[in-house]
Structure 1
Amino acid sequence: MFKGGVRRSGLEWFSSLPACLLLLSVVLFSTSSDLHNQMLQGGEQLWSGYYKLRMDPSEPTCNPGRNIDAAVAQELARSTTEDDPMAALLGAQEKDPADVRLAIERSVADCKAAHQSYDNLRGQLTPGVKAYRAIELFIADLIAFGLESQRYILVLLVMLCAVTATLTRHHIAMRGMQTRLDYTVSYTLQTVANVMLLGSSLIFRQSSMGAETSVSPEDLLLHNVWITGFACLTLASLYRLVRVPVGLASGGTLNKAFFAVPLYTVMCLISGTYFALIGHASGIGIYLGKMMDLADMFLNVGLYVWVGMMLKQTRLATLVFNLFRPWQMPPEMLAVVAVLVAAVPTAYTGASGIFVIAAGAVIYTELRAAGARRQLALAATAMSGSLGVVLRPCLLVVVIAYLNREVTTDELFGWGIWVLVLTAVMFATVALTVNRQSTFNLAPASRALPAMLRAFRPLIPYALVIMTVILFYRFVLNVHMDEFSAPRILPVIMLAILLYEHVSLKNARGKASGEINHQGLERSVRGATNDTTAEIGALLLLLGLSVSIGGVIERSQIMQALPQSFDSLWSAMALMVLVLVLVGMIMDAFGAVILVTATVATIAYASGIHPVHFWMVTLVAFELGYLSPPVALNHLLTRQVVGEAEVLAAQQQAGSFYQRHERIIMPLIAMSISLVLVAFVPLLFYA
């Protein structure tokens, strides 16, 4: 894994400005929907029957002054059958004059009512109504455009950020490019993989054009955007391949060089080769296209990363850590506190990997500043996102409930609290007992508590800013802060915090305790978006290829080799745990949920495992998989955000085997024990 091997130039806005505009458009479109709902309600309150005023009324074509007697006579004459032999032959009968008159009288009454309604509506179309209606209809059109554009926004965001990640050497890999051989092997295979992606997309487009069903212009445009994006990605990797940067060491071994290949490249080579061998060359393109079915979810991932990068630009994390500094906690206890505190923001970022990318650098920096050793700080950073994935309003749980009707978000979040307590206790136990290297000499409460209260004072304005935004959405837009609204509210909260810091620190720079180098609103947003672009490119491309790997597993029918049900719940659960951890080791959270829903979940249900229990086990097993070698995705993401140098420095530290690998072993012990307890203890009550 390598972070930012290339310095961002003065043209950094060339990629980050479009990305910023795309992310802002997602927030704008989703907020417009809330605003439109309120405008409809407001219009109805201001003008009764406003929904009828949204369009200009059409004048009725009927005649309200119609002569009823003449109309009755005309209708009766028309119904006479004496001069119509054919009608008489068919048995036509004369109409009852009373019925004819009644029908015509009703028709005339309805016509008069329609004209009266038309006149009333015209009278209500005041200039104020027309102005209000124009704004409301504009917002309605904006919402419709936003819904239609979601897929295109996602593809543009993925491609733009993927090209940026390629040019800046920011893709997620097992190790960084340290030698020229690493660089050459990595970018050669990246180019091959990108050619595979381009070819698969071209073949998918051609097969779609040749299908019996016609391709809509929207789908054709989407195909063209994918193809253009992969062509640009191929050119970017080819450009980096021929432009070898200076400063790389000579030598190197081929084995280590392969570890510098990005994970998305490995997944692409595996899935592309498999699909080519079975004669399904368009396979990768098809499975990447399936991302469009969950475009809103993947866009939310991008928003969460952006929120985390904006968080890095604020003083908020530093001020929160300032609350605990007066207690003079030993590093192990502070690491436990950091992981526990991180559970809440993790729930709002959707998945542990997203949180590690978003806030891992802040947690690592603060733990190191508090005196934590590198191995401990790296362990806590990697696990910082593992506890909160079971809390409301985690996006991953929402996706599980969306794909599985057997469970609801309320059930999963309800039991998730108990899983959080269990995993927190396990991590605290391991951190405070195994390899503890410091004494517990906490500061006396008489001294620490007043200092803690003083440290809380600078947080009050931040709390007020956050509450202002939440209350605005609650009372102005009638939107509660929950798992569905969090992706669009959190960016607004972070922008409001950056604006507050820009105003409050403009003339008082350096005076506030714990202040970072705040450089103003524009530079903060630009810096956050610069980091976001590369991180989104690395993460979303990995997510997309993870879906493709899921397609390989699904088509190869590996899961079908497993028994479709088990007589023993204990045997079923043991196999489920093994399979789920393995899936977590090779796939991202969202792609893994899609795969498990289609395969393993049905086996678990058929074997008698309760659906809520199964998904709680799944979430914990995934987290263990993300912390387990050889991939250990959360550790790779930690390396991505803290830097290669910090990890190398930690690996060079002397000590026992545990001390030299504490960053790997500590989370494994805590999550393994938690998984065993979550998986098997509930079986005692319903097995």
Structure 2
Amino acid sequence: MADSSTFRVANRTVAEWLSSFPSMLILLLAIFLASGEIIHSQLLKVGERTWEEYFLLRATQSEPVCERDRDLETEVARTVQERLRNAEHDPLAAMLGVDVDEQAIRRSLERSQEVCRGRWDTYERVQARITPGVKAFRTLEAGIAFGVTELGSYKRLLLCLLLLICAATTTLARHHISLRPVRTLKDHYVSTGAQLLANSMLTLSAFVYRQQELIAQADGIQINHFYLHAFWIAGFGFLALCNLWQLARPPQTLERGGSTGKALLTIPLYSFMCLSAGSQFMIGGYYHGISVYLGMMMEMSNMFLNLALYIWIGMMLKQTRLAHLVFDLFRPWKMSPELLCFVVLIVTAVPTAYTGASGIFVIAAGAVIYSELIRAGARPQMALATTAMSGSMGVVLRPCLLVVIIAALNNSVTTSELYGSGIKLFILTACLFFLFSQFARREPARIAPFAEALPQSLKRMLPLLPYVLLIAAVVLFFKHVLDRRLDEFSAPIILPIVMLAILLYEFLLTPKNKRLQHRLEAEQEGHLRAGSFEQSVRFATNETTAHIGALLMLMALSVSVGGIIERSGLMEALPTQMPSVWVTMAVLVVIMVGIGMIMDPYGAVILVNATIAQIAFSNGIAPLHFWMMALISFELGYLTPPVALNHLLTRQVVGDEEVERAKISSGPFWVRYEKYLLPISVLLTALLVVAFLPLASDGLHDWLFQKVQSSYSVIPLE
């Protein structure tokens, strides 16, 4: 994407100036807005500790208008005369008499003069204490307060701009997520033509929606955020123009010919969703339906901006050497491939939780994981299975964003309860993976002797110590200086700063020859690594922009698909009362897996919370039990054909040729299709255990889904 043009301005291509650079500014602005209130409150505390009565010093005070030293006797006489003149024109004064209390007037004027002198004294005292340091500090503090207040109301616009800029980048880079890559001319014309239809439909929907809201405004209805319509129309119109340009100029590297059946599989998933949802809306006369559901997405701007930040975190992680250094710890143990895959899944669960969702971690570290497993002797099919699953194990662990969203959408569960049950399900799933991974093993599980491996492994921990100290320093800074600890709510704010600090450390303290060696190693593994801090951030942002465009467009249209399902009445067709809790759970399991196979996790959670969750609760399924079952069902759906989103993302980062080379045409069925069968077997077994065993045992249910007192408050989604 970034290297498509040789023309450069300030060492950046035009594409970078128009796509990744504004995207980075939006991401940095999102971090500022998310942490701005905390920063402002801490600045106020610093001001109060540094300057007494800072609350007075920070305010812009005008000079009092009252007169401090007045002639009281003259004022008293004037007031008495004025009241006597007023009494001459008062018809009641003749009957009631005129009684002007001169002493009361004097006392009132004396109190007024005391107040005036107090104002002047305060004003002069404050003015005398406003030093250049105070002026500079209050300018900073007031600027941050103004920025947080004013810019905070434009989060929808930030998300809209981010989505459209990244979607244009993804479209021009041909990076949208599809079931099959474009290889032939027919693939190109079918894929691009479908995108043109989808983007034209989105443009029409946005235009009709604007017209509908203009009519509503004319009827006196107040419309919020009306200005966004112009951005949607212009953005989707530009995407359609990009598709027209691509149709007119197909890539020269494509093969001739191609089959129609395979070409249909190259249509991006978001185009399928748009065409199916849009046509259903139009058949019902609801021409602006897609745009209405895009507006619902904007209502959760915080959530999707955080998701974009997590993608940026993942891409910056990809630019560091952390993954390589962690794998270096395992090499002295000389583990058998199956055991190494098990250990990799355990270790990658933590960064998965910190990158927000399974697909993001696959994008960030999938290439490294696959290459390291192959180097260790793992079967290609098993390495692909482990890479795809590496993003699934940590979605139930703290501080995964998906769990935060579930807790934010409903009051029946808390993040502490979800994470508490999640750690138990994580252990169960890990054990199941170890058992199923032994089905096709070629040799017994092995590990090097402790006396031999432990000293070497400890020695290889030394290069990791600076990273640990650096991460600790950033986390402690936020905790003690900004009063913000690292948890599920602050992770999108703190982790980008952590990754930027790591990239800066690697540039400043790594010798130039070492940086060159690391870059060559990365290029051999198929991804680009920079040689400087600025390049690292730029390369990471370039990749982030393409991935944000692909994922956010998929999620945006997934919300519309959820709207079609919701409006179709399918969920209402489900009986609110079922014969038994066992039947209810069986029906819900099938539905949840099906939703996971066609929708992204965030859109799926929103749909399920609005439609299905209450059916489960009314039929005796505990909310915590339901949501843990739903999370495992979704992950099973993401690893199950025909879509298998995590496998599609694995293919994107590993490479089409490598995936094709990994295919096996002969041998046992399990070995040939292990990349699908292994994760499906693990997660399906875990799902059946989690869904049904707690129904048979109250003790197991209470232990696995224990209600806890949470000290966390749920943040709003917007």
State the TM bucket, normalised to the shorter chain.
Answer: over 0.9
Q: Deviations for 1:361-391, whole angstroms, at most 9, x for unmatched residues?
A: 2211221222211111110111111111111
CA-atom RMSD in angstroms:
2.9
The alpha carbon displacement at 1:62 in A equals 4.4
Confirm or deny that 1:597 pairs with 2:600.
Answer: no
Q: TM-score, normalised by structure 2?
A: 0.89
2:372 to 366, 376, 385: 366
Alpha carbons of structure 1 residues 400 and 448: separation in structure 2 relative to 1, 3 Å: same
Confirm or deny that 1:438 pairs with 2:443.
Answer: yes
The amino acid of 1:166's aligned partner reads T
Residue 630 of structure 2 corresponds to: 618
Secondary structure, aligned partner of 1:208: helix
The alpha carbon displacement at 1:92 in A equals 12
1:151 to 143, 153, 156: 156
Deviates more, 1:651-660 or 1:165-174: 651-660
Residue 351 of structure 2 corresponds to: 345
The alpha carbon displacement at 1:52 in A equals 2.3
Residue 185 of structure 2 corresponds to: 180
The amino acid of 2:494's aligned partner reads I
Q: Deviations for 1:26-70, whole angstroms, at most 9, x for unmatched residues?
A: 234434443322211100111122122222213344455564993
Alpha carbons of structure 1 residues 615 and 87: separation in structure 2 relative to 1, 3 Å: farther
2:23 to 15, 19, 25: 19
Secondary structure, aligned partner of 1:681: helix
Confirm or deny that 1:673 pairs with 2:679.
Answer: no
Residue 10 of structure 2 corresponds to: none
Secondary structure, aligned partner of 2:287: coil
The alpha carbon displacement at 1:654 in A equals 2.9
Question: CA contact under 8 A between 2:179 and 2:266: conserved in structure 1?
Answer: yes
Instruction: Give the distance between the partners of 1:161 and 1:615, measured in 2 at CA.
Output: 32
Alpha carbons of structure 1 residues 215 and 522: separation in structure 2 relative to 1, 3 Å: farther
Length, aligned pairs only? 681
Alpha carbons of structure 1 residues 18 and 94: separation in structure 2 relative to 1, 3 Å: same
Confirm or deny that 1:305 pairs with 2:308.
Answer: no
Residue 401 of structure 1 corresponds to: 407
Question: CA contact under 8 A between 2:80 and 2:102: conserved in structure 1?
Answer: no
The amino acid of 1:13's aligned partner reads E
The alpha carbon displacement at 1:653 in A equals 4.8
Instruction: Give the distance between the partners of 2:407 and 2:78, measured in 1 at CA.
Output: 63
Instruction: Give the distance between the partners of 1:93 and 1:591, measured in 2 at CA.
Output: 79
The amino acid of 2:606's aligned partner reads I
Question: CA contact under 8 A between 1:179 and 1:250: conserved in structure 2?
Answer: yes
The amino acid of 1:503's aligned partner reads L
Residue 57 of structure 2 corresponds to: 53
Confirm or deny that 1:224 pairs with 2:256.
Answer: no
Confirm or deny that 1:415 pairs with 2:421.
Answer: yes
The alpha carbon displacement at 1:78 in A equals 7.4
Instruction: Give the distance between the partners of 1:370 and 1:46, measured in 2 at CA.
Output: 58
Alpha carbons of structure 1 residues 486 and 257: separation in structure 2 relative to 1, 3 Å: same
The alpha carbon displacement at 1:421 in A equals 1.1
Question: CA contact under 8 A between 1:322 and 1:514: conserved in structure 2?
Answer: no
Confirm or deny that 1:533 pairs with 2:545.
Answer: yes
Q: Deviations for 1:261-313, whole angstroms, at most 9, x for unmatched residues?
A: 10000000011101111111111111112221111211111111121112122
1:493 to 492, 498, 501: 498
Residue 360 of structure 2 corresponds to: 354
Question: CA contact under 8 A between 1:318 and 1:515: conserved in structure 2?
Answer: no
The amino acid of 1:618's aligned partner reads A
Residue 708 of structure 2 corresponds to: none
Deviates more, 1:314-323 or 1:141-150: 141-150
Residue 558 of structure 1 corresponds to: 570
Alpha carbons of structure 1 residues 239 and 62: separation in structure 2 relative to 1, 3 Å: same
Instruction: Give the distance between the partners of 2:405 and 2:39, measured in 1 at CA.
Output: 25
Alpha carbons of structure 1 residues 71 and 291: separation in structure 2 relative to 1, 3 Å: farther
Instruction: Give the distance between the partners of 2:45 and 2:568, measured in 1 at CA.
Output: 53
Secondary structure, aligned partner of 1:389: coil
Deviates more, 1:548-557 or 1:145-154: 145-154
Residue 579 of structure 1 corresponds to: 591
Secondary structure, aligned partner of 1:388: coil
- 5 Å matches for 1:464-475? 464-475=469-480
Alpha carbons of structure 1 residues 132 and 561: separation in structure 2 relative to 1, 3 Å: same
Q: Deviations for 1:62-86, whole angstroms, at most 9, x for unmatched residues?
A: 4555649938974995799896446
Instruction: Give the distance between the partners of 2:517 and 2:473, measured in 1 at CA.
Output: 23
Instruction: Give the distance between the partners of 1:448 and 1:549, measured in 2 at CA.
Output: 52
The amino acid of 1:323's aligned partner reads L
Query: Structure 2 unaligned runs (5+)?
Result: 7-12, 523-528, 703-718
Residue 389 of structure 1 corresponds to: 395
Secondary structure, aligned partner of 1:484: coil
Instruction: Give the distance between the partners of 1:189 and 1:226, measured in 2 at CA.
Output: 19
Confirm or deny that 1:630 pairs with 2:632.
Answer: no
Residue 463 of structure 2 corresponds to: 458
Alpha carbons of structure 1 residues 616 and 105: separation in structure 2 relative to 1, 3 Å: farther
The alpha carbon displacement at 1:153 in A equals 2.2
Instruction: Give the distance between the partners of 2:169 and 2:56, measured in 1 at CA.
Output: 50
Question: CA contact under 8 A between 1:154 and 1:295: conserved in structure 2?
Answer: yes
Question: CA contact under 8 A between 1:565 and 1:604: conserved in structure 2?
Answer: no
Alpha carbons of structure 1 residues 246 and 83: separation in structure 2 relative to 1, 3 Å: closer
The alpha carbon displacement at 1:471 in A equals 1.9
- 5 Å matches for 1:83-122? 84-85=90-91, 107-122=112-127
Residue 320 of structure 1 corresponds to: 326
Instruction: Give the distance between the partners of 2:300 and 2:473, measured in 1 at CA.
Output: 31
Instruction: Give the distance between the partners of 2:578 and 2:608, measured in 1 at CA.
Output: 17
The amino acid of 1:197's aligned partner reads L
Confirm or deny that 1:336 pairs with 2:342.
Answer: yes
The amino acid of 1:52's aligned partner reads L
Question: CA contact under 8 A between 2:274 and 2:557: conserved in structure 1?
Answer: yes
The alpha carbon displacement at 1:476 in A equals 2.4
The amino acid of 2:16's aligned partner reads W
Confirm or deny that 1:160 pairs with 2:165.
Answer: yes
Question: CA contact under 8 A between 2:338 and 2:445: conserved in structure 1?
Answer: no
The amino acid of 2:639's aligned partner reads L
Question: CA contact under 8 A between 1:506 and 1:520: conserved in structure 2?
Answer: no
Query: Structure 1 unaligned runs (5+)?
Result: none
Question: CA contact under 8 A between 2:164 and 2:235: conserved in structure 1?
Answer: yes
Alpha carbons of structure 1 residues 215 and 253: separation in structure 2 relative to 1, 3 Å: farther
Question: CA contact under 8 A between 1:72 and 1:100: conserved in structure 2?
Answer: no
Alpha carbons of structure 1 residues 131 and 521: separation in structure 2 relative to 1, 3 Å: closer
Question: CA contact under 8 A between 1:182 and 1:256: conserved in structure 2?
Answer: yes
The alpha carbon displacement at 1:655 in A equals 1.8
The alpha carbon displacement at 1:25 in A equals 2.8
Question: CA contact under 8 A between 2:84 and 2:98: conserved in structure 1?
Answer: no
Residue 142 of structure 1 corresponds to: 147
Q: Deviations for 1:227-262, whole angstroms, at most 9, x for unmatched residues?
A: 111111111111112211123223322222111110
Instruction: Give the distance between the partners of 1:510 and 1:49, measured in 2 at CA.
Output: 52
Question: CA contact under 8 A between 2:474 and 2:498: conserved in structure 1?
Answer: yes
Instruction: Give the distance between the partners of 1:625 and 1:131, measured in 2 at CA.
Output: 55
Deviates more, 1:208-217 or 1:227-236: 208-217
1:269 to 272, 275, 278: 275
The amino acid of 1:386's aligned partner reads S
Secondary structure, aligned partner of 1:200: helix
Question: CA contact under 8 A between 1:308 and 1:357: conserved in structure 2?
Answer: yes
Question: CA contact under 8 A between 1:76 and 1:97: conserved in structure 2?
Answer: no
Question: CA contact under 8 A between 2:80 and 2:100: conserved in structure 1?
Answer: no
- 5 Å matches for 1:228-239? 228-239=234-245
Instruction: Give the distance between the partners of 2:321 and 2:578, measured in 1 at CA.
Output: 53
Instruction: Give the distance between the partners of 1:95 and 1:271, measured in 2 at CA.
Output: 82
The amino acid of 1:314's aligned partner reads T
Deviates more, 1:492-501 or 1:140-149: 140-149
